[in-house]
Amino acid sequence: MDTAVKTKKATATPPVTFVKKVGIIGAGQMGNGIAHVVALAGYNVVVNDLKKEAFEKALGTIERNLARQVSRGLVTEGDMKATLKRISFAPSFKDLGDADLVVEAATEDESVKRKIFAELCPHLKKEAMLASNTSSISITRLGASTDRPERFIGMHFMNPVPVMQLVELIRGIATEDETFSRARQFAESLGKTIAVSEDFPAFIVNRILLPMINEAIYTLYEGVGGVEAIDKAMRLGANHPMGPLELADFIGLDTCLSVMQVLYEGLADTKYRPCPLLVKYVEAGWLGRKTQRGFYDYRGEHPVPTR
């Protein structure tokens, strides 16, 4: 999905010397955003995905977003051209063998991530760092599924990555101090600001944000207000830049459900129970903007509420 870059690019520190090449697993919304900011910061980037078409689509999105940054005077034409030249496709995990850091940005499903790590790790050099962009899953558990838990860390970029300032850093129980320090330095070299979270379900941002979204869906489910009324109330009554149902569509309803399930199962508290309406939308394949239907229908000229 195209993302307009509205904020000024944060001041980045020079590229760190211990990272020359960065591998990214997944060319979706998060993967292409991470590739964008990492390449713009001066690093060579290789993006792995199951389909080359997904990579080509991601590269097109990156190019359009860079063009917007150029039009706003945030980067130069030269920056844009150099950034695009630094991004290449990695058809297999073997092509990530010389990467100094690999960031996994696959779907928010623990079994999928564990399978990726099992297949990826044999191809990585011994000293390579491995990070997950998971927004909710235990870094300790994910790290234990690799051959390098001491060099494994959570780096949760916010969506859209080129715009959002924050990166949550989460260390697992086995994460070494050097890994944590290097991950911090790398994130700061991208012009990002760090918030350190303990390894609890959904960390900081989604521990607070997703239950609010889930409550907004319950508010719709119970008939307290319609889609537009709920979003309008939170935009104008709480000064949120985007209503919670519009935001859910932007995040992806499948991702929202995955995070709520992690919270519900991990904390064993009924207040985190996913709303049945959220489950129904996901079962219908109405996942938000990426499928053109969620709480809004995006197939026409203007979004229309679906409920």
**Contact (CB, 8 A) for 306 and 288:** no
Catalytic status, residue 168: yes
Is residue 33 within a helix (H) or strand (E), and if so which, with residue range?
A: helix 29-40
**CA separation for the pair 36, 80 (Å, rounded):** 10
Phi, psi for residue 222 in degrees, rounded to 5? -85, 0
Question: Which one of 156, 159, 214, 258 is the catalytic residue?
Answer: 156
Phi, psi for residue 212 in degrees, rounded to 5? -65, -45
Question: Which one of 32, 135, 138, 197 is the catalytic residue?
Answer: 135
Measure the CA angle with vertex 274, ends 216 and 29; round to 5°.
80
**CA separation for the pair 189, 276 (Å, rounded):** 42
Q: Which residues contact 232 (CB under 8 A, 6 or more apart)?
A: 243
Catalytic status, residue 65: no
Strands 296-297 and 304-305: antiparallel
Catalytic status, residue 135: yes
The DSSP line for 124-149 is S-TT-EEEE--SSS-HHHHHHTSS-G
Catalytic status, residue 104: no
**Contact (CB, 8 A) for 18 and 148:** no
Question: Which one of 44, 48, 65, 168 is the catalytic residue?
Answer: 168
Question: Which one of 206, 214, 246, 258 is the catalytic residue?
Answer: 206
Buried b (16+ CB within 10 A) or exposed e, 201-228: bbbbbbbebbbebbebbbbbeeeeeebb
Enzyme catalytic residues: 135, 156, 168, 206
